[in-house]
Amino acid sequence: MRSVVIVGGGSAGWMTAAYLNGALNNQGQDSNVKITLIESPDIPRISVGEATIPSIKHLLAVVGVDELEFMRATEATFKQSIKYVNWVNNDNTFYHHPFSRHKVTPIDHSARKWLESDRSIPFMETVSAQPLVCEMGRSPRLIGNGSSEVNLNYAFHMNAQKFADYLRDFSTQRGVKHILENLQAVELKENGNIASVKTDNDRTFEGDLFVDCTGFKAKLISEVMKVDVEDCSQWLLCDGAVTMHVPYEDYYPGMVRPYTTATALSNGWIWDIPMQSRRSIGYVHSSAFISSDAAEQEMRAYQGVNTTDLDSRHIKFSVHRRLKTWEKNCVAIGLSGGFIEPLESTGLYLSDLGAVALAEHFPWTDSHMEAMAFRYNRILSNRFYEILDFINMHYCLTKRTDTAFWREVQKPEHINDRLKAKLEYWKMKLPSALDFEDQCFDGGFVTGQNHPAVDTAALWNHDSYLCILLGMDYFQSEDQQMGKELPSSSLYKKVYERVQWAHKHLPLHSDWLQSTVGMRSFSASSKPKGWVT
């Protein structure tokens, strides 16, 4: 039997333990791998709202979790899109990046067709029913067992602390061993591998593989294995966040939005994530352009007046990538492996990917360790760069000039070379599927750390790139500038029919949550304490 020791709990630790147990031990029915998770009882636990992407449903299925049970336990709500507000200009305009869109066959000319129109309807609303379903506040699923004529992909918003607790209870009932003790020491073998870890209760835990889920402290991968990081802050300037929870008892906006809102503010952006009893909001900002106190004031102004009774929390971070997430017999998953700001909800995803990739590349013998580590590192680094490029694009395409921050992020020195090559190429042709076979464009092969970085479009294919490019008005229209009369934008018939069906049949998101997973009913007239009208 192989033995895995996970150091650190939280979402990363328990996602890893649960997935390995599901994938390698048949959800605890077999005993192929002994899994032990050591978690400090002294580290403060932080309750935040997290948004996910649809890949989370694969993790839940492999773990063996019932979706409705998971939603009840974690205050989860549906997420169908990210709504970007004020990213192009500071004028309250927005566009959606949804999870579903209509596929035009055999060749999709929808983007070209829209570019040659008057653009009176946002591009994604012409090819997807989901933006309007979101704006109507509808659930992607019907109440009960009825079949839907609108196939809407979705992810979840949830309480990350409750998610970790849920996976902990679920996994320990199925054979994962949970140790609530502090890491005291690490013993190495002559070859540099970790032999065992020792806790403050003078207990020693040996293992074949050790997983570092200790967050930014990176107790194993950094302090013991001495793996350095690559600083990526040149491409993403934000380095802090101030967060706050807004309970529905204090203020209920009248609906539970079935999407994440990302609103650009003066020096960054604010997430707005709805759960079943409250909203989680957080202002991601750059300390070079705004102080922590000023950022908090701006976040509170976003929410509304008289929020002084609501506690806030300040977080500092750096955008970086561990040069190797797997070194010898130590694997870093979660924040110990790196961090990218959560603009596209990839925080939990990187832990998800780390666990899934580890199960697929599990070293059943020590002789396989090096080969599995090489491929694992390659996959994780490629995915990091894909996320980095995609988020970098949101910033550099803005047309905002109202603050020094937004003027700065557009400068060439803050656009990485891989993204520059893509954007230059797409001036000649619109993105298409074959653009992601490799990253060799006319300017040459753009390299990453040690090996050329390849955007495999594993997360975002040409459709997602088109969504952002067209949403951010990347392609200028000479005809529009010259005042030429252009045909009106129009929805595809299939999209129009889906919108109409959704309007008639899909329940409000809050109604679905109340009837199916037991969300409480709140009054839309509730205002923050001391609210002044």
C-alpha–C-alpha distance, residues 393 and 397, integer Å: 6
Tracing tokens 């060749």 back to the chain, one arrives at 107
How far out from the chain centre does Cα 264 lie? 17
C-alpha–C-alpha distance, residues 93 and 84, integer Å: 8
Give the H or E element holding residue 515: helix 509-516
User: Residue 499 has which token pair?
Assistant: 């919108």
DSSP 8-state code for residue 138: B
Give 308: exposed, middle or buried? Use CB within 10 Å, 0-12, 13-18, 19+: exposed
Query: How crowded is residue 190: how many other Cβ atoms within 10 Å of its Cβ?
Result: 6
CA distances from 501 to 450, 492, 493 (A): 51, 14, 12
Cβ atoms 492, 123 nearer than 8 A: no
- Provide φ and ψ at 461, rounded to 5°: -90, -165
C-alpha–C-alpha distance, residues 127 and 493, integer Å: 10
Active site residue 219: no
Cβ atoms 373, 75 nearer than 8 A: no
H-only helix segments in 331-427: 347-360, 369-396, 404-408, 417-426
CA distances from 118 to 100, 480, 490, 494 (A): 24, 7, 10, 21
C-alpha–C-alpha distance, residues 67 and 73, integer Å: 10
Instruction: Map 225-285 to HEC letters.
Output: CCCCEEECCCCCCCCEEEEEEEECCCCCCCCCCCCEEEEEECCEEEEEEECCCEEEEEEEE
User: Residue 419 has which token pair?
Assistant: 């993204």
Residues 6+ apart with CB under 8 A from 533: 527
- List, as one string, the DSSP characters of 171-219: HHTTT-EEEE--EEEEEE-TTS-EEEEEETTS-EEE-SEEEE--GGG-T
Sign of the Cα pseudo-torsion (347, 16, 337, 421, in order) = negative
C-alpha–C-alpha distance, residues 458 and 382, integer Å: 10
Given the residues 34, 79, 324, 494, the one annotated as active site:
79
Q: Cis bond leading into 131, ω under 30°?
A: no
C-alpha–C-alpha distance, residues 314 and 292, integer Å: 8
So which residues are the catalytic ones? Answer: 79
